[in-house]
């Protein structure tokens, strides 16, 4: 009985990665697809500007101005499979 138990544990340890990885891979693909779908539904943010009043009359401003060309370039880079297949 002890030898059978040891053999069953050894077979289970060897078989575990081959059973678990396809299940984890399917879960990862599902979560990634949901994440990308949620990202596509988000509206583009409007440009904003923030001014802070510093010492000695120095005003500092920050602004956010989304650049559509840079966003498209980043999207293209995210979708590519560099260096395997980068058109």
**∠ Cα 24 37 82 (to 5°):** 70
Host H or E run for residue 25: helix 2-41
> Is 70 domain-assigned?
yes
SS3 of 81, please?
Answer: strand
> Is 86 domain-assigned?
no
Q: Are 61 and 50 in contact (CB under 8 A)?
A: yes
- Total domains present in the chain: 1
In this structure, is the dihedral angle defined by the CA atoms of residues 22, 23, 26 and 27, taken in order, positive or negative? negative
Task: Quote the pLDDT of residue 84.
Answer: 59
> Is 50 domain-assigned?
yes
> Is 11 domain-assigned?
yes
Measured distance CA(64)–CA(41) in Å, rounded: 21
Instruction: Quote the domain boundaries for residue 55.
Output: 2-79
Instruction: For residue range 24-81, list pLDDT tens digits in order.
Output: 999 999 998 888 887 776 666 677 777 777 777 777 777 777 677 777 777 766 666 6
């Amino acid at each position: 009985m002890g030898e059978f138990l040891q053999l069953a544990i050894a077979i289970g340890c060897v078989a575990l990665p081959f059973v678990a990885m396809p299940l984890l891979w399917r879960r990862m693909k599902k979560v990634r697809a949901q994440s990308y779908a949620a990202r596509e539904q988000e509206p583009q943010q409007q440009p904003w500007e923030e001014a802070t009043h510093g010492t000695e009359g120095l005003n500092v401003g920050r602004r956010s101005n989304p650049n559509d060309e840079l966003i498209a370039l980043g999207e293209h880079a995210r979708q590519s499979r560099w260096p395997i297949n980068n058109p």
